[in-house]
Amino acid sequence: MTDHVVRGSDIYTDEFAADPYPTFARLRADQPVCPVSSPRFDQYLITTFDDARAALTDPRLSKDLYGPGQHYLRLFGPNSEGLNKNMLNSDPPEHTRLRRIISQAFAPRRIEALRPRVAQMVDGLLDKIVPQGRAELMHEFAIPLPMMVICELLGIPEADHARVLDWTQVIRTSGSSRRPPEEERAAVQEAQLKLHDYLVDLMQAKRAHPADDIIGALIDSCDRDGALSEAELVTTTFLLLFAGHQTTADFLGNATLALLTHPDQLELLRATPQLLPSAIEELLRFDGPLPVASPRIAAEDVEYQGVCIPRGSVVGVVINSANHDPAHFADPDQLDLRRVRGPHLGFGYGVHYCLGVSLARMEAQIGLGALLRRLPGLRLGVPLAEVRRLPAASPFRGLLELPVTFAASAAP
């Protein structure tokens, strides 16, 4: 088994950003476990379904980026600890403790009770769009919707939504501007600091004026019995804020584009709206918003497919490659909304399985359903090649813009 280093410049190209799946197929066939020299950091990529699922539950692949190795410094920069030392980047028993505290806030029954409010938010955004006959769906719909939902759940004041969104978008779109890399890094560091300071101030305001929201519940866990430290209170809030809107926004954009470029599947979904729940799963498998799971660190030498991953190496589990593995999915590069639901890895696997899965599915169902219902004749407003995307080496797969046209109508 060869383990020669793949240069990031060879795979992280404009063509890869537009369609990474031929590259993933080549890696699965030739180097299913391979070291990659990346513009972000060097890592080993694991690309097949079976290996990916095994790696996501492998205790030798640690999620603790803030332990003695201080891996966060080289991965995310010196300001990241104030926001990223949270449940996502921890192992049991710390992960178990933090997840138990947070999981109560995301109980399916509580999330389902939000359905009428989310539908109201969706209609409010679309009311502004439908009379125009054209829209840029990322910034007019896909990005603001999940931000509004998670901010309301957390208890972030509406007056602060715009600036919080601005800071998180700097982090999300890192690498997409024409600025030199050092300026880009400085902008991300500044956004992290501002967001951290904002959250610290918000906690003080919430203590002065308690409210029945998720932040209020987290503050109670911190102050009443010390279940959360002050630092964990801030980092947990950031995790819920960022993860609660980033991936859903990118999914809504990716899913809409997938339907627009597969008109037969778009018409099938219009004609058979009861397919929507299973269609969400297929769209997530087909082109998910998190192509590579958040980094893991080899706590010891680990072997996959005959390749030794040395201790201390960063390991990237390529979710989107695993979800296109023909060993598990027939015709995996075809979008098939009637596909029998399979065990895709779009929401992760194991103890780090997505905590907000009920919320994400509910937002996706309401959002996509309303788009198809209220925007007749929906189509791309520019040629597919002109659709602007996040950079090829971004940890996220999403669109910077999604211009569309449709038949205008009066808002109700």
Phi, psi of 43 (to 5 degrees): -160, 165
User: Does residue 259 register a pLDDT over 80?
Assistant: yes
**Pair 276, 266: CB distance under 8 Å:** no
Query: Are the C-beta atoms of residues 245 and 150 closer than 8 Å to each other?
Result: yes
Note the pLDDT tens digit of each residue in 326-375.
999 999 999 999 998 778 999 999 999 999 999 999 999 999 999 999 99
SS3 153: helix
Q: 315: pLDDT confidence band, cut at 50, 70 and 90? A: very high
For 322, the token pair is 């695993």
Residues 62-110 have pLDDT tens digits of 998 877 666 666 667 666 677 778 888 899 999 999 999 888 778 778 8
Taking a C-beta distance cutoff of 8 angstroms, is the pair 63, 90 a contact?
yes
Residue type at position 180: P
10 Å Cβ neighbour count for 409?
A: 12
pLDDT band (50, 70, 90) for residue 180: confident
What gap in Å lies between CA 5 and CA 139, rounded to an integer?
A: 38
Cα–Cα–Cα angle for 279, 402, 159, rounded to 5 degrees: 95
pLDDT computed for residue 78 by the predictor: 67
What tens digit of pLDDT does each residue of 372-400 get?
999 999 999 999 999 999 999 888 999 99
Q: What is the C-alpha to C-alpha distance for residues 203 and 286, in angstroms, rounded to an integer?
A: 39
| pLDDT the model gives residue 189 | 86
d(CA 257, CA 220): 42
Which pLDDT band holds residue 113 (cuts at 50, 70, 90)? Answer: confident
pTM comes to: 0.93
Asked if residue 1 has pLDDT above 60, the reply is: no
8 A C-beta contact, residue 103 and residue 74: no
The answer to whether residues 350 and 55 touch, using CB atoms and an 8 Å cutoff, is no
Distance CA 220, CA 298 (A): 36
